[in-house]
Every structure is written in C-alpha cells, then in structure tokens.
A and B are shown apart, each in its own frame.
Chain A
Amino acid sequence: MTATVADAPAAPASSAPIPPKRFGAAITLGVVALLSLVIFGFGSASGASTTFVVARPTDFFAIPSFTLPSQLAAIVFSVIGLALAGWTAYRANQRRKVGLWVPVVYGMAIMGALLTWAGAGRDATSIQLTGLLTSSLFLAVPLVFGALAGTLCERSGIINIAIEGQLLAGAFLAALIASMVGNAYVGLIAAPIAGALVGLVLAIFATKYWVNQIVVGVVLNMLVLGLTNFFFSTVMTENGDLNQPLGMPKLAIPLLSKIPVIGPVLFNQNLLVYILYVVVAVLQIMLFRSRWGLRVRAVGEHPKAADTVGIQVNRTRVRNTVLGGAIAGLGGAFFTVASGLAFGKEMTAGKGYIALAAMILGRWSPRGALAAALLFGFADALRAQLGAIGSPIPSQFLAMFPYIATIFAVAGLVGHARPPASEGIPYKK
C-alpha cells in the first residue's frame, strides 16, 4: 500500500492511462455519516444527556466522568464524519488516496455518535469508556494475530483461508501443553507450533501439489475442527487434567499503566498483548522497510520477476506461510491460556474469518490490520456494553458489522482493496 501511494502521482503520467476517479469511498462514507446525523444526531432526544465514565480509582489523577448533551454531541460526531467524507471526495477528485487516519478517525466519530445516542437519557447507567476500550483491545487480539498471519501469507502469494483452523489448533495445543506442564506461559510456546503445522500443510499442498489454495484452506479448517473436537471429546474429556483453565496475570507496566484512559487500556494487559505490539511493529517495519520484505512482496506481486533475480519463490512462500501459521497459532492462545479458559469445542467461532476480513480492510498491511481489527474488536465490545445497558439496536446488527464492512471494501465502495497480484496462483517454473 505504501508503495502505491508513493508511486501514484508520478508513475501514470508517462505511459499508463490516467486512472479513473474513484468516488465510491467518499459516497459510502458520506451516506453513512448522513444516516448517523439523522438517526443518532436528530434521533437523540433533545435535552437528554449521556454520561461517560472515564477514570479508574488507580489513576494518577482522576478525570471526573463527564456528561454531554446527547443531541449536540451526536450531531458534532456525525458532522466530523461528514467532513472526513468531504475530504475523501476532495482527494478522490485529485486521484489521490487518503491516509489511514481518515477511516480510523471516521470510525471513531461514527461510533462516538452511536454511543452518545445509545446512552442518551439513561441516568442510571453510563458508558464505561475505559472498560469499553480495554475489552475492545482484548477482543481484537486474535483478530490482529490472524490478520497478520493472512497478510504475511498473502503478501507472498498464498491465500490463507485456514486462519480459523490455525487459531483453533493454537488454542487447542496451548491448552493441552500448558495443562500438561501446569504453566500457562508454556502454552504460548505450544500455540505457534500448532499453527505452524497447519501452515506447513497449506504451504506444501499449495506449492508442491498446486492444489487450489482456497480448497486447501477450507478443508484444513474442517480438518482442524474435526481433530480438535475429536481429541476434546475423547482424550480431554476422559482425562480432565489435560484441559485446565490456566490464566496469565495482567502485567501492569510501572508508570505507563497509571496514565488515565490510555494506561489501563494499553499498559495493563497480559503478556500476549505485549507480544502483539512487538509483532505488529516488527512486521510493519520488516515488510515495508527491509530487504526481506521487499523480496516477499516481489514474490507475491510478480513471482517470475522475483525468480529471475534469484529469489527462491516457493521457498519464500513456504517460509512465509509457516511463519504466518505460527503467528495465527499464537493468536489462538488468546482463547485458552490468555483468557484463563479451558479448551472448548469450536471455541474460535468464526474469528478466523473476521481476521481475514480485517486483513482485507487493512489493505494487506500490518498497521492496517491492527486498525481494522481494533475497529472490529470495538464493535464486539460495544455489543456487549449495549447489551448491558439495554440497546436500541438489535445486537445481531452490530455483530454483522465486520462482515458488511468487508463486503463494502472488496466491492470497492470503501477505498479500493487490491490484493497482491499473484496470490492464489501456484508458481511453476
């Protein structure tokens, strides 16, 4: 993505035809913001107010919970959304792309409008902002790992539909090994191994036998589901010691965790979340700023050219798919050892497919995947909180949000999601 943004103004001038102006994103953003203005803005009872609780007792200094006039606040949030839609249209008219900050801020503004509307006139309950953000991040953890795995595989040209299976395998082995050893942290070592094994099977079938990668992915998901269910119902059920709920304590980082709002959200989490920060940062830099990353992307975009300059195409793909599988497997540890739960049948419940969605919405880049996954995690956390305060929207519609957002993205209605050119095509010399 970075490359295209940088090249866009200069390259087409010489030879390529001028690309069409794409207003789809601007129109979609505008329509949604307008709906938000009408429903959340003017729909909030005038005179009602929404209370946000921010502070926690452990903070350095206490921010008092603040109360906003609902209607005004929701209108302001919606207008911010409309302004961003306008900015997108302005950029589209110049055939320029907008930065990642636009969808992120836009998403926050619309969510803000929604929250204000949902909390309007409820004096007894208030919106627990810090709790909401904390659980957003927590719920986003498997999505980020899964989306990173997808990004890593697809950047090298292998479609990874098996993220769901890798998460599930990771969750299973993490619970099994951690229970055998009696230490939750051992699960963090076992989980990536399970994911990597699934990735290895995918890589072998894709590069050696040239089997359609979507077929292998779908079937691997089934296989892992069947295997984990089978061993859960036999070995784990007969011997409860092999499947214990082990938890990892939250590790508060001194000083940083005392910052109001940000502190408890970002710096009072368990080890897996801190690993997540590191993995996102490392992958973002490695993929776009290192020789390795350049090679990986070359293999995914134009394998023949990459081969010509001496890059081992299939070896790169196998390595990336295995590494991706390991990362997704690590994300699987979230479900068991990192949440303090025992393994349960089908406990990933489609999170792997939402991760796939986050990868697409994040335009195949680690930081984009992080942003999209956080948005989906926020939608999930919001669903729980709205359920608690009695939501005016059926929770099922909030649950649909990631999927519909992804359909809009691939249909080119929100930005233009362009996958690596050679993904899914086996490389044969």
Chain B
Amino acid sequence: MSAETQTPAENPEAPAPEEPRSRQVLREIAESSSMVVFMAIVASMVIGGILVILADEAVRESAAYFFSRPGDTFAAIGDALGAAYSAMFNGAVLNLGADSFAGMIKPFTQTLTLATPLIFAGLGLGIGFRAGLFNIGAQGQLLIGATVGAYLGFAFELPWGIHLLLAVLGCALGGALWGFIPGILKARRGAHEVIVTIMLNYVALHLVAWLLSLEAFQREGSDNPISPIVAETAQYPKILGVQFNLHLGFLLALACAWGAWWLMERSTLGFRLRAVGANPSAARTAGMSIGTATIITMVIAGALAGLAGSAPVLGTQKFLTDAVAGSIGFDAITVALLGRSRPLGIVLAAILFGGLQASGPSLQVNAGLPVDIVVVIQALIVLFIAAPPLVRWMFHLPSPAHEKEVAA
C-alpha cells in the first residue's frame, strides 16, 4: 500500500505534544497495518457467516434435535455458509455458472460500476479527514450535485461531449456549493462541521423532494417524484460495450484518485491542508490560514461528493429521484476510513465495498439472504479497523509499539 511509503515523509510534523487527541486517533486509523485491515475483513466475514447461520431456517430446524443428530446441524450450517459465500463470489467477482466469457466477467464489471461513486465520495472524505475535518455530509453534497447534473442533463439539448462535460461540471459545482456552507460556517462562526453536515444532509433531501414536486423537474405523464431521463448526449458512454454497465465515470474516478494523490502529496496546497490537519496551531504559527484551508477542503470534498452523484444520474440510473443517493454518502465514510484516507487505499476499499454491494442481488436470489447482510459486514469491517488493538487481541497479533518507535 502506498501508505507505508508515505509515512516517513509525514512523520516529522507528527509528534507534537499538545496535538488534539482526535487527530492522533485519525492518524492511528491511517497507520493501522495492512495485517490488521486484512484480519478485520476476515473477522467481519466470519461474523457475517454467523448471522447467516442464525437466520437460516434449515439450521434452526436441525438445531432443535442437535443432540440426537448433530451431523444434520453441521450439514445445514455448511450448506448455508457455502451458498452464501459462493453467491457472494459469483455476484461480485466471477460468475462461474455463466456460459459465455462476457457473462463470467459481468459481476466484476458490476463491482467496478458500483465502486465508482464510492471512489469519488471516498476521495473527498479522505481529503477532509487528512485536513482534520469530519465531513458527514457527503450524502447531501452528492444529492445536490446529482440534482444540478441531472437538471443540466435533461433540461438542455447540447452537442455530444459538451453536454456531458457541462453536466459533470454541474455535479461538481452543486456538491461544492453544499460543501462550502459547512466550510464557511466553520471558518467564520466556528460551527462544528459534523453537526452542520448532518443537518445539511436532511435539508438537501427535503430540498430535492420539493424540487421533484415542481413542474420543471417532473417527468411527463408520471405522478411519481421522478425527473425525466437524462439526454443521451449527457450520459457517460459505456466503456466496455452495451452489455456491461461500466461507464466512463469509473475512469474519471481513477483520474480523480490520481489528482487527489497529486494534490495531497505533491502540491503546496495539499501540504498546507495536511499541515492544518496534523497540527492547526503549528500551521497557524507558520502563517497558514486555518479558515481558508477549511473552506478549500470542504469545497473540494463537496465537489468530489457531487461527482459521486454523477455516477447514478449520468451513468446507471439516468434520472433523479430523492433516493438517488442510496446510502453512498455513508458508505463512502467507511470507504475513506478503510482506505486510510489515501487515494490508492480508497480505490481498493471502494472496489471491496462495491463488490460487497454487487453481490447483494446474487445473495438474494441464490442464497435467499437479504442484501442487508452486506451493510452489516461493511460496518463491522470499519469498526474493527478503527480499533487495531481489538483486532490484534482477537488474533493474537504482535503489538506494533516497537515499529512505531523506529518510525518516529
């Protein structure tokens, strides 16, 4: 992972004695070793398996006579787990039962498609975390971005290329605006960004619901609050042909990941943001403006979350509803945490969670399990990686205390 190579470069600014502890915790999340991440994923899958067993009808029935024929229970457990895990693999990676090559790799392209908005939003949140800001508002920023992008997409008729560009920029701008509000309130009035962004999520939700009740956003001949379909000129082209859902947005997300890496690791602005995140007092002493850094961070994070909104409205769903954001904004928080706020980590984490979500329909159909098991696994993974000592204790891993001393 890229984090290891970057750690030494960052550490000189790290050991400040009066540094707020919340930032230390953030860094601890960022520095938890790859082993812990891996074991956290394993542990979460195991707990997910236990839930599957608990919920399985056959297991419960055979457990009723466990002491007379224990073999039945174990066979039922094996069946339930086998069905669940193979359904996950078939749904997210390779469909081994398909008869064509395209059918086989389709699940993986679906994983990448679902990972696209998570990459965008995760990158934005990751930049926020590194600048010391807890942006819980990706959901709202995404919604507003999606609204602006969708409106530009269905309300105008423009030539190919320009239309898509305009719609994508609209998504970014809408998100940036929604990120600017908590940024300026924090910079000028000291309003805590967590509270403001949570509240703005709901304001955005009701705002979009209201917009969808207006004539300008209503689809003709429909009583439901859904917008017209975005014009084809404004849709992301499919990059692997029409039989796959994977669209240009994925490549744009990868480009943004590179951009985010360059911004944070190679640019002066990124250095400033990191400095403010690592130690605001030192940054202020060095002549950096905390308020400006806060506003810039929130605007960038908002723009990226807004771009995440482009994935559904311009790529997959192609129209606006008030449920267009799904749970992307909250999933992105877990992506950014699992990816330790680093672009490469975020891309990998987004693909992992995209895969978990892609396996949902297959779980439902092939194993009869509700999609919600995926949410549980996702939450568990993040809980575990947030507390490395817990994972080390569970798996008897060595404590990294001496490593840290060497690194410092």
A356 close to B386 (CB less than 8 A): no
- B334 adjacent to A396 (CB under 8 Å): no
Given A230-B51, A400-B202, A406-B195, A212:B376 Cβ within 8 A:
no
> Is the beta-carbon distance between B202 and A350 smaller than 8 angstroms?
yes
* Contact status A218-B330, CB under 8 Å: yes
Q: Contacts A211-B386, A212-B29, A229-B375 given; indicate if A400 touches B203 (C-beta within 8 A).
A: yes
Q: Does A137 contact B (CB under 8 A)?
A: no
A214 at the interface (CB under 8 A from B): yes
Given the known A-B contacts A223-B379, A230-B376, A404-B199, are A412 and B189 also in contact in the complex, defined by CB atoms under 8 Å? yes
| Chain B residues within 8 Å of A218, by CB | 136, 330, 333
CA distance A419 to B22 in the complex (A): 16
Q: Are A356 and B210 in contact (CB under 8 A)?
A: no
A219–B334 contact, CB under 8 A?
A: yes
Interface residue? A399 (CB, 8 A):
yes
CB of B43 within 8 A of chain A? no
Q: Is A110 close to B, CB under 8 A? A: no
Q: Is A428 an interface residue (CB 8 A)?
A: yes
With both beta carbons as reference points, the residue of chain A lying nearest to B369 in the complex is identified as A234
A397 to B390, CA, bound (A): 45
Complex alpha-carbon distance, A428 and B373, angstroms? 36
- A221 and B378 alpha carbons, distance in the complex (Å): 12
Assuming A222-B334, A234-B55, is B200 touching A229 (CB within 8 A)?
Answer: no
Kindly state the interface size class of chain A when it binds its partner. Answer: 35 or more
Q: What count of chain B residues pass the 8 Å CB interface test? A: 52
Q: Is the interface of A mostly helix, strand, loop or mixed?
A: helix
Partner of A209, one of B195, B334, B390: B390
- Within the complex, the shortest CB–CB distance from A167 to chain B, in Å, comes to 15
Chain B minimum-CB-distance residue to A360: B195
Residues of B within 8 A of A400 (CB): 202-203, 206-207
Does A353 lie within 8 Å of B376, measured CB to CB? Answer: no
Give chain A nearest CB distance to B404 CB in angstroms: 15
Q: Which residue of B lies closest to A210 (CB)?
A: B25
Max chain A CB contacts within 10 Å: which of B28, B337, B375?
B375
CB-based closest 7 A-B pairs: A226-B375, A233-B370, A229-B372, A226-B376, A223-B379, A234-B55, A396-B210
24 of the cross-chain contacts (CB-CB < 8 Å) are A161-B198, A205-B387, A209-B389, A211-B386, A218-B136, A219-B379, A222-B327, A223-B375, A223-B376, A225-B372, A226-B374, A226-B376, A230-B372, A230-B376, A233-B370, A235-B55, A399-B206, A400-B203, A403-B206, A406-B195, A407-B185, A407-B191, A411-B196, A426-B25
Q: B-side interface residues toward A, CB under 8 Å?
A: 20-22, 25-26, 28-29, 51, 55, 57, 134, 136, 185, 189-192, 194-196, 198-200, 202-203, 206-207, 209-210, 213, 327, 330, 333-334, 337, 369-370, 372-380, 382-383, 386-387, 389-390
- Interface residues, chain A, with chain B CB atoms under 8 Å away: 161, 205, 209-212, 214-216, 218-223, 225-227, 229-231, 233-235, 238, 350, 353, 356-357, 360, 394, 396-397, 399-400, 403-404, 406-407, 410-413, 419, 424-426, 428
